[in-house]
């Protein structure tokens, strides 16, 4: 059954559509920054550090932490 505004892409039709179906998935990840003050001294202002990847809800995620711009 088709829904107005949504459908299979047609090579002759330049328009497209997509849908996001939300479900409830829960999880957590704890990022512990060891040596926070040292990191703040060594990472230039406005740069970022990246956590290791972790999985929640069948997806791979990471956390980017940006140092403040002084």
Residue for token digits 């791979």? 60
Q: What percent of the chain has pLDDT over 70?
A: 76
Question: Domain for residue 42, yes or no?
Answer: yes
Mean pLDDT, rounded, of the chain? 74
Q: Is the separation of the CB atoms in 56 and 29 below 8 Å?
A: yes
Is the pLDDT reported for residue 63 higher than 80?
yes
User: Which domain covers residue 46, as residue numbers?
Assistant: 36-66
Question: Domain for residue 48, yes or no?
Answer: yes
Q: Which of 14-18, 26-30, 58-62 has the lowest mean pLDDT?
A: 14-18
Question: Domain for residue 5, yes or no?
Answer: no
Question: Domain for residue 6, yes or no?
Answer: no
Question: Domain for residue 45, yes or no?
Answer: yes
Comparison of pLDDT for 6 and 56, the residue scoring more: 56
Question: Domain for residue 15, yes or no?
Answer: no
Count of domains observed in the chain: 1
């Amino acid at each position: 059954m088709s829904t107005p505004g949504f459908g299979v892409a047609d090579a002759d039709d330049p328009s497209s559509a997509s849908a996001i179906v939300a479900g409830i998935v829960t999880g957590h990840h704890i990022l512990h920054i060891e040596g926070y003050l040292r990191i703040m001294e060594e990472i230039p202002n406005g740069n970022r550090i990246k956590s290791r990847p972790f999985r929640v809800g069948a997806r791979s995620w990471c956390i980017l932490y940006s140092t403040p711009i002084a």
